[in-house]
Amino acid sequence: MVTLPKALQTQTVNSFKSASTSIHSNDLIAYLPQVCHVVASVNQNVGGPALSVTSLAEALTDHQIRSHLWTLNYANLGKQLQPLNVNLHSYPATFLSQNFRGWQRTARQGLYQLAASQLNLIHNHGVWMFPNLYARQAAHRSNLPLVISPRGMLEAWSLQHSQSRKWLAWHLYERKNLSSATLFHATSTMEAASIRQVGLQQPIAIIPNGVTIPAIDTIPPREVLTQKFPSLANKRWLLFLSRLHPKKGLDMLIQVWKTLADQFPDWQLVIAGPDLIGYQATLATQVEELHLQHRVTFTGMLIGEDKAAALGNANLFILPSHSENFGIAVAESLAHAVPVITTQGTPWQAVAESNCGWWIPSQSAALSETLLEAFQLSDHQRQAMGMNGRRFVASHYSWSAIAQSMSEVYRWILQGGAIPECVQL
């Protein structure tokens, strides 16, 4: 058994009181905690966090957690993802929201009211945005526990970029936000280390993101994409599928691809993913300068059947990131039985340990050597590695198991008891 800190005990008592005055100690077995996930956006073009947060909120409903999701709707970033059996509290992203880090006074007031009337705990996803400030303020006003998932935004690489804006946000509100957390959620031991490195001492729950395992016989055929992108026909696909951003190492990948493309004319580099900052233009210029236009295919954001066709028919997946807190695209690729090359900037050492890919230094020489090795394998050898990955992901990253761990953490915060195995004090 564990005795919670006095401040946390007070939060817990008040949380139960705010949930319902009719709840008595003998009724706790039927008590369903109400948790609100606060995230800046769940529009489909945002990529990873939108999918992981909505999937978590949905999966938690099968583990006796009443899930709410508070967010802003950026209409220019595609449709919002709609998790099943989750109370969605969505507010339009105004001009100020879009240009001033998610500032939205009406949405802030809505979160305050929700916290005061229905919630037992707030789970904030991300940092550096005003919605993250609103989560802390709402938790404080209603004396609720606050869980924070930094979602990779406290990694060393991220902290070194846009330093002036982050310095301002740190002193205005982010330092207080983080110091107010009851507990942090990290998706890997690497991310947990980054949380400790900035001086935060609260408990950390290390729970990875989950992934849906598709049935092999439901994967769409190659023609779904080759009809739209004829350059992919009759080629093996080296697939990058993630947000287009400098931290993803795409410039290094393209430079290395220049040295290998002529040796492997039956391979095509496919770069797929949302471009939220106009980075594709920079990459396209690099491709043109290296005379690789016919060997690189930019598909833009892929969703639905198109995304499934890309993942399900790729011969090799690559994510050469300088920094990732998790890297959901790696898990998705392995779930589709595609072997993976990724860097030590991601927490995916297991791909090498489980013989389903390569985990290499984030360096051009290592990337070139590994691609050469992977290309020279037979299709059968790559397929065998991919099946190793599919089995590994199925046993470690099902959404049901992830939600079970998270629900145990919530109940520990609210009710006390034995420390969950995933919690690092």
Is 187:325 a contact under the CB 8 Å cutoff? yes
Smallest CA-to-CA distance from 109 within 133, 138, 88, 132 is with 138
pLDDT, tens digit, 9 for 90 and up, residues 300-329: 999 899 999 999 999 999 999 998 878 889
pLDDT tens profile 126-174: 988 899 999 999 999 999 999 999 987 787 777 777 777 778 878 888 8
Phi, psi (deg, nearest 5) at residue 249:
75, 20
Fold that domain 216-396 belongs to in CATH: Rossmann fold (3.40.50)
Is 3.40.50.2000 the CATH classification of the domain at 6-210+398-424? yes
Model pLDDT, residue 386: 97
Q: pTM of the prediction?
A: 0.78
Give every CB contact of residue 160 below 8 A, 6+ residues apart in sequence: none
Residues of the chain with CATH 3.40.50.2000: 6-210+398-424, 216-396
Averaged pLDDT score across all residues of the chain: 89
Handedness of CA 61, 63, 64, 69 (dihedral sign): negative
pLDDT exceeds cutoff 50 at 216: yes
Determine contact, residues 339/357, Cβ cutoff 8 Å. Answer: yes
In single-letter form, the type of residue at position 190 comes to M
